[in-house]
């Protein structure tokens, strides 16, 4: 059972009515997917598709096993809505948003999905077209807040002209149950993914996860292994025992190693026999103090573990050819790096740097076939958050569209998606896994 008392109460119909009556938030228990990926994750569900290229998008949705419903009112409850707004180029065109969603939005059931497709505003031909496409961002974020009370999400996918073949992977992720705690976000597709690799997408691939003895790292290792990856589990030597047990359970290799070791990249390359398909930089530390009270050791240590070592190891592995064409690099940033946080200037600076690194490497490595992206977790229920004082912990949980904290598996699912062949068209994205957190939006 969750340690979130309010969520547990909201899971019971009787107590849910009671907490709603006294004005407390009533978070909707989220529906998450279990087990490995499947070819038809939307089987038995209905989705309505409309606007620009609805026929082509409908085929993608049908390939996921869903029944496509075109007219409003055909189904009393829908799993999702997909609106293709790529043809919107004027204020008048934006009326199409109202026309499509007004008659359908209330038919989306609990834990449903809304996905909007658009273009990169910076690449539009006219100022009005750019403004209209930027309007999709505000629209999607607002829809995410409106549907969040039902445990539903809304996200935006922008697609470069010519990169349409990179759409299936992101669309599948956002419509499925593995994006339960991702809402109000935008990802950009500027390349082509490997379509059709949906079952055991990481079979035969070697993946390394740092900081994977527990928490988000452990959950990520388990998810990657479930999708067929051969795991190298890395964590600091003091956690060698837990690391070994995890590696043995997953059929992987334990690598007790401090990521700040000057020879870390060389040791990783050796453990991977010179070839690594997926690199997940999850290891990180917090050393919290307000800036005026922070010892320089706390500053230096946090920046070195969270950012300096990540840059050094990643560049060495890329330049040495250990991560080759078709590889995936996934960095773990934090919402603290995007919004800032009192007493965490060192941590926020390091995690903002990680986001910047993802954007830079995403652009720089795109032509090599290596896709680099980052995830930025918000309030996730871990051992670390359990140590937060009760009042602050409650605020952290409720300060999102979904009125609850996420689980390590939510971050792991996002990382697994970004590690998959279908995410090959994403470069330099920073995907927040925060339930639509109201800070740093």
Diameter over CA atoms, the chain: 63
* C-alpha distances in Å from residue 256, one per residue of 233, 272, 306: 8, 14, 18
Residue 11 CB-density burial (10 A; 0-12 exposed, 13-18 middle, 19+ buried):
middle
Count helices and strands in the chain by DSSP H and E runs = 16, 13
Pick from 440, 416, 412, 83: nearest CA to 217? 412
d(CA 71, CA 69): 6
For 101-124, the DSSP string reads HHTTGGGEEEEEEEEEEE--GGG-
d(CA 238, CA 107): 52
- Rounded to 10 degrees, what is the CA torsion of 424, 427, 430, 431? -20
**Is the Cβ–Cβ distance between 302 and 310 less than 8 Å?**
no
d(CA 293, CA 246): 38
| 306 DSSP 8-state letter | I
Task: Give, for 51, the enclosing helix (H) or strand (E).
Answer: strand 46-51
Pick from 379, 397, 381: nearest CA to 433? 379
**Dihedral of CA 47/50/52/56: which sign?**
positive
**Is the Cβ–Cβ distance between 371 and 424 less than 8 Å?**
yes
Catalytic residue among 173, 347, 379, 417: 347
| Span between the terminal Cα atoms of the chain, in Å | 30
Beta strand ranges found along 126-274 (DSSP E): 153-159, 186-189, 206-210, 230-235, 253-256
| 201 DSSP 8-state letter | T
Task: Give, for 68, the enclosing helix (H) or strand (E).
Answer: strand 67-69
Task: Reply yes or no on whether 347 is catalytic.
Answer: yes
Residue 400 corresponds to which tokens in the numbers above? Answer: 């999102």
**Positions marked active-site:** 347
């Amino acid at each position: 059972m969750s340690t979130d008392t309010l969520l547990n109460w909201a899971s019971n119909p009787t107590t849910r009515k009671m907490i709603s009556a006294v004005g407390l938030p009533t978070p909707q228990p989220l529906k998450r997917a279990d087990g490995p990926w499947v070819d038809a994750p939307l089987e038995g569900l209905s989705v309505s598709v409309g606007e620009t290229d609805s026929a082509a998008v409908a085929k993608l949705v049908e390939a996921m096993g869903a029944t496509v419903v075109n007219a409003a009112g055909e189904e009393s409850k829908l799993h999702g809505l997909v609106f293709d707004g790529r043809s919107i180029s004027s204020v008048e065109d934006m009326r199409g948003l109202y026309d499509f969603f007004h008659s359908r939005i209330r038919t989306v059931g609990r834990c449903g999905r809304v996905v909007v497709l658009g273009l990169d505003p910076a690449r539009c031909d006219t100022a009005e077209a750019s403004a209209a496409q930027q309007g999709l961002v505000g629209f999607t974020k607002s829809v995410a807040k409106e549907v969040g009370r039902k445990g539903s999400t809304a996200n935006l996918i922008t697609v470069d002209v010519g990169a349409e073949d990179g759409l299936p992977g992101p669309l599948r992720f956002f419509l499925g149950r593995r994006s339960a705690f991702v809402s109000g976000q935008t990802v950009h597709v500027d390349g082509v993914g490997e379509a059709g690799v949906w079952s055991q997408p990481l079979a035969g691939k070697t993946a390394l996860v740092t900081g994977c003895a527990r928490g988000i790292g452990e959950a990520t290792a388990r998810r990657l292994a479930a999708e067929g990856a051969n795991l190298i589990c890395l964590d600091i030597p003091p956690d060698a025992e837990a690391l070994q047990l995890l590696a043995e359970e997953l059929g992987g290799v334990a690598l007790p190693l401090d990521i700040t070791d000057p020879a870390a990249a060389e040791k990783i390359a050796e453990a991977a026999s010179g070839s690594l398909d997926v690199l997940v930089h999850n290891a990180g530390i917090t050393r919290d103090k307000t800036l005026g009270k922070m010892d320089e050791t706390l500053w230096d240590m946090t920046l070195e573990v969270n950012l300096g070592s990540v840059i050094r190891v990643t560049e060495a592995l890329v330049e040495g050819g250990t991560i080759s064409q078709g590889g995936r690099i996934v960095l773990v940033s934090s919402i603290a790096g995007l919004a800032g946080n009192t007493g965490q200037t060192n941590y926020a600076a390091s995690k903002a740097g990680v986001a910047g690194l993802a954007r830079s490497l995403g652009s720089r490595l795109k032509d090599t076939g290596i896709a680099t992206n980052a995830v930025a977790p918000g309030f996730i229920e871990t051992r670390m958050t359990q140590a937060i004082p009760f009042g602050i912990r409650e605020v952290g949980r409720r300060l999102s569209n979904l009125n609850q904290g996420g689980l390590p598996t939510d971050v792991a699912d996002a990382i697994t998606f970004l590690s998959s062949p279908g995410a090959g068209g994403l470069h330099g994205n920073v995907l927040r896994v925060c339930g639509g957190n109201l800070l740093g939006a």
